[in-house]
Amino acid sequence: MPYDFKLPDLGEGITEVELRRWLVKEGDRVVEHQGVLEVETDKAVVEVPSPRKGTISRIYRGEGDVARVGETLLTIAEEGEVPAQPPAEPAKSNGIVGVLPEAEEEPEVHATPMVRKLARERGVDLRSIRGSGPRGSITIEDLSQAAAPRQPEESFGPVELVPLRGVRRTIARNLIASQRSTASVTCTEEADITDLWDLRGREQEALEARGTHLTFLPFFIKAAQHALRDHPFLNASIDAEAETIILKKHYHFGIAVETPDGLMVPVIRDVDKKSIIALAEEIQALGKKARERTIALTELKGRTFTITNYGHFGGVFATPIINWPDVAILGCGRIVERPWVYRGAIAVRKILPLSLTFDHRVTDGADAALFLAKVVRYLEDPALLFMESV
C-alpha cells in the first residue's frame, strides 16, 4: 500500500523544522536514500532522504511551512500501487421526481494545524484565502499576506512585508529566549594590543603561505580560555528549575559567524588543547562551512562560552546578547589607534574595546570585571598565552 512518509526525528532535541526546498515533485520516481527535501533547523540545512523507492504521489506541505516531527510530508507509491487521490466528489441524491437539491457545502480548506491556529489568533477566515501551496494548501506566507493591514492611499509611504524565516527566525527565537531567561549585565574594558598587533603581522605572511589566514580571533579565544580557568562561573549554564549552576570543566567556544542568511555560531571544541595555529585553521574551516550552509548540527551544539567579533564590521563597544543557555559572551570591538599612556609617556597605540555580557544570577560584577582584566593582561602581553598554554 502507499507509504506515508512522516518527518523523522533528526536528533539533538529537534521538534520542528522549516521546509526549505523540495528536491522532488509529484509524479517523480525516487530511489531509497535519495534526497527529497531540504529542511532548516537550528541554523543548519539538512537533506532528508527517502526511506523507500517509488513514485511521489502526493506532497502535503509547501516550501516555507513549519512541520513538526511525526507529521506526514508526502506519500510514496510503488509500482502497481494506487496513488493517493483527493476525495471524490459525492454523488448527487436522486428522488422519485428527479434530482434533489444538495445542501451547499463549505469549501474544503487545506491548511496545517499551525496555520489554522495562527488564523484563529489573527481573526482570519481561511476560506477567503487562495492557497499557494501543494494542491492549494494555505501556507504561512499566504496567511501573513491576507492578515497584513492594507496601506491606505494617504499612508506615509510604501512598505514591504518580509516573512521571518530561516536563520533569522531561529535567531529571533533564541534572542527572545535569552532576554526572558537571563538577568544580563554588560561591563567594558580596553586593551592595548600593540604588541599583539606586531606579533600577528610578523607571523601572518608565513601562515598565509600555508593557506591559513591568521586573524586576531584565535588570540582572543586563548586569552578568554585562560581567564575562564580562574573564573569558572562564566564558563557555565544554569538549571533554573533545579536551582543549580552547572560549571563546565571543558572549553567549547561558540564563534559568531556572519553569513548571507544571518548570524551562525559554530563551536570550536577543546580550545584549551589547541594551539593558535590550530584554532586559526579550525575557525577558517568552520566559517566556510557556515557560509556555504554545509555545517553539521553537531558543529553548532555544546558550547560553554561565546565570542563575537563585531569589530570586524566597524563596531566599537556593544552590549552583546548572551547566547542562551550560556551565561556569558565576550564582544570584541574595532581596533583603533589612540593616544595612550605607555611607559609614562603619551604614544599612539592599538586599542581594542571589549564588552562582556554576563548573567547576574550566576555571578557578580566583581567576578566579571576581574575576568575582563585578566583577558586584557593576556592580550597586552601575548607571551603569557604561550607560556601558560598546554
User: Is 110 one of the annotated active-site residues of the chain?
Assistant: no
End-to-end CA distance of the chain: 61
Q: Which residues contact 187 (CB under 8 A, 6 or more apart)?
A: 355, 356, 358, 365, 368, 369, 372
Distance CA 193, CA 215 (A): 13
Contact 2, 77 (CB under 8 A): yes
Cα separation, 379 vs 365, whole angstroms:
21
- Please give the Cα distance from 306 to 326 (Å, whole number): 8
Cα atoms in the Cβ-side hemisphere of radius 13 Å centred on 168: 7
CA distance 366 to 107: 65
Q: Measured between alpha carbons, how far is 174 from 216 in angstroms, rounded to an integer?
A: 27
CA–CA separation, 47 and 142 (whole Å) = 25
Active site residues: 360
